[in-house]
Chains A and B, each alone.
Chain A
Amino acid sequence: MVRELTCIECPTGCAIVVTVENGRAVHVEGNGCRRGRDYAVAEVEHPERLLTTTVPARGLSLRMVPVRTSRPIPKDARVNAMSEIRKVRISAPVRVGDVVLPNLLGLGVDVVATRDVS
């Protein structure tokens, strides 16, 4: 089976063709770089995305703290991940990279702040 993908790693958006056998990527072409190859393999074998959102702050200088997952998570875990992240409230100052929710859904991925909020 052949799958045609648009790479999402950078603004170029290369058109990539992946040959898939038994759920494994066996041949990748059309990618412009190493990141594109890695994306294409992941996309057919275990698609994942970095998740970014915001969580409410309490008693801090901003209403919302922007956050992201420390690594990409499985694409189909996003709805459950959002439900978990929605429960978080931040009431102490955070710096960029501080963990605000450890081990999201047991995936071994943390949710971290992406902005200093005092």
Chain B
Amino acid sequence: MDERELVIVGGGPAGMAAAVEARECGVRDIVLLERGAHLGGILNQCVHAGFGLAHFREVLTGPEYADRFIQRVYETPGIEVSTRSFVAELKPGKVLTYLRPGAVCTVRAKALIMATGCRERTREMIQIPGTRPAGVYSAGLAQKMINIEGLLPGRRVVVIGSGDIGLIMARRFSLEGATVSAVIEIQRQPTGLKRNIVQCLDDFGIPLYLGHRVLWIHGKNRVEAVDVAPVDELGREISEARFTLACDTVLVSVGLIPENELIEMAGVELDRRTNTPVSSDLNYTSVPGLFVCGNAFKVYDIVDSVTRDSIVAGRQAVEYLAACNGGERRG
């Protein structure tokens, strides 16, 4: 079996920052595994601006922010990048099995950093009743369809949830000439950033219904409408105030869940409520030498903070390796 000093799973902002930092701190044998065809992770589909003010002191789009790190990763000798590499199994002892085109590979990592990001919560997880027509998308999937695939998922949109991705997509659909009829948020406060309420909704005259919920999704083959009602303080709908919005598309933007199935396989203790590792300190897990960073560790609002904390993960892995190797590794 192949044995490597440091294996990093995930080539998004967290994995790239950790890889570059670990190399700069002296680790000479690093493998960065990325499931997709390109490094950059979710930043590649976040074509809007607003990234980088904290880390680079300038405003960048997602792909530009990613590009800064992609260039550094490829310029740095000692970081081996393996794209189209999907980790299928993680066993105790930090033994990974991954698939890449034409091969199944097994590698034992002395130190392991998991930077696997998040998944989106779905319609099923928040139990919106109704029929099951085509046209219901998670906001991030719609983002991928428009920005990566060049497909417009619909022309008349209702967004459920006021998370940042939903707000960003309300603006994106508007710019593409679609009509965004409403954003429906069950809480009394929006969950997304204030600046996104201003520049994604107010700029385009899109109404935000706080303290409202979607009662029913209508449509046989394709979404036709949603029923909406305000809710009282106990979350019960006030049915006499119910109204219907015609639409062909529903976007669901109701939060993210850290993606940690692999470390669970390896026996890492997870907090069931948040799906994050039970941890004494930033990036640590219950397994020595196995670190989790970025959105897999906790859901971050902005990528600059992911970068800051993932740099720490790179250093933590270096310290762990130094301790394992009797202090001879540094430098």
Q: Which residues of A lie under 8 Å from residue B188 when comparing CB positions? A: none
| A8 at the B interface (CB under 8 A) | yes
**CA–CA, A9 and B57, complex, Å:** 12
Q: Please list the residues of chain B having a beta carbon within 8 angstroms of any beta carbon in chain A.
A: 44, 47-50, 53-54, 59, 61-64, 66-67, 146-150, 175-177, 193-195, 197-199, 203, 301-302
Q: How far in angstroms is the closest Cβ of chain A from B198?
A: 5
Contact between A54 and B150, CB atoms less than 8 A apart: yes
A-B CB contact pairs (8 Å), 6 listed: A8-B199, A13-B198, A52-B49, A64-B150, A78-B175, A82-B175
* Beyond A63-B149, A115-B44, 16 additional pairs, beta carbon < 8 A: A7-B195, A8-B195, A9-B195, A10-B53, A11-B302, A13-B193, A50-B59, A52-B47, A53-B47, A63-B148, A64-B150, A66-B61, A66-B62, A66-B147, A96-B64, A96-B67
Q: Please list the residues of chain A having a beta carbon within 8 angstroms of any beta carbon in chain B.
A: 5-11, 13, 49-54, 56, 62-64, 66-68, 75, 78, 82, 96, 114-116
Q: Which residues of B lie under 8 Å from residue A63 when comparing CB positions? A: 148-150
Q: Which residues of A lie under 8 Å from residue B59 when comparing CB positions? A: 9, 50
Known contacts A7-B195, A49-B199; A116/B47 CB under 8 A:
no
Q: How far in angstroms is the closest Cβ of chain A from B169?
A: 13
**CA–CA, A28 and B195, complex, Å:** 18
**Which of A5, A50, A67, A115 has most chain B Cβ within 10 Å?**
A115
Contact between A13 and B63, CB atoms less than 8 A apart: no
Q: Which residues of B lie under 8 Å from residue A11 when comparing CB positions? A: 50, 193, 195, 301-302
**CA–CA, A13 and B200, complex, Å:** 14
Q: How far in angstroms is the closest Cβ of chain B from A98?
A: 12
**CA–CA, A69 and B150, complex, Å:** 19
Contact between B47 and A66, CB atoms less than 8 A apart: yes
Query: Within the complex, which residue of A13, A64, A67, A75 is in contact with B194, where a contact is CB–CB below 8 Å?
Result: A13
Contact between A116 and B67, CB atoms less than 8 A apart: yes
Query: Within the complex, which residue of B61, B66, B198 is in contact with A52, where a contact is CB–CB below 8 Å?
Result: B61
Contact between A8 and B198, CB atoms less than 8 A apart: yes
Contact between B47 and A54, CB atoms less than 8 A apart: yes
Q: Which residues of A lie under 8 Å from residue B195 when comparing CB positions? A: 6-11, 13
Contact between A114 and B148, CB atoms less than 8 A apart: no
Contact between B61 and A56, CB atoms less than 8 A apart: no
**CA–CA, A6 and B167, complex, Å:** 16
**Which of B44, B66, B147 has most chain A Cβ within 10 Å?**
B147
Closest to A14 in B: B194
Contact between A6 and B198, CB atoms less than 8 A apart: yes
Q: How far in angstroms is the closest Cβ of chain A from B299?
A: 14
Q: How far in angstroms is the closest Cβ of chain B from A99?
A: 15
Known contacts A63-B148, A68-B49; A114/B203 CB under 8 A:
no
Contact between A68 and B61, CB atoms less than 8 A apart: yes
Q: How far in angstroms is the closest Cβ of chain A from B142?
A: 13
Known contacts A6-B198, A66-B47, A115-B63; A54/B193 CB under 8 A:
no
Q: Which residues of B lie under 8 Å from residue A50 when comparing CB positions? A: 49, 59
Q: How far in angstroms is the closest Cβ of chain A from B54?
A: 8
Q: How far in angstroms is the closest Cβ of chain B from A45?
A: 17
Contact between B147 and A54, CB atoms less than 8 A apart: yes
Known contacts A13-B194, A49-B203; A115/B67 CB under 8 A:
yes
Contact between B150 and A56, CB atoms less than 8 A apart: yes
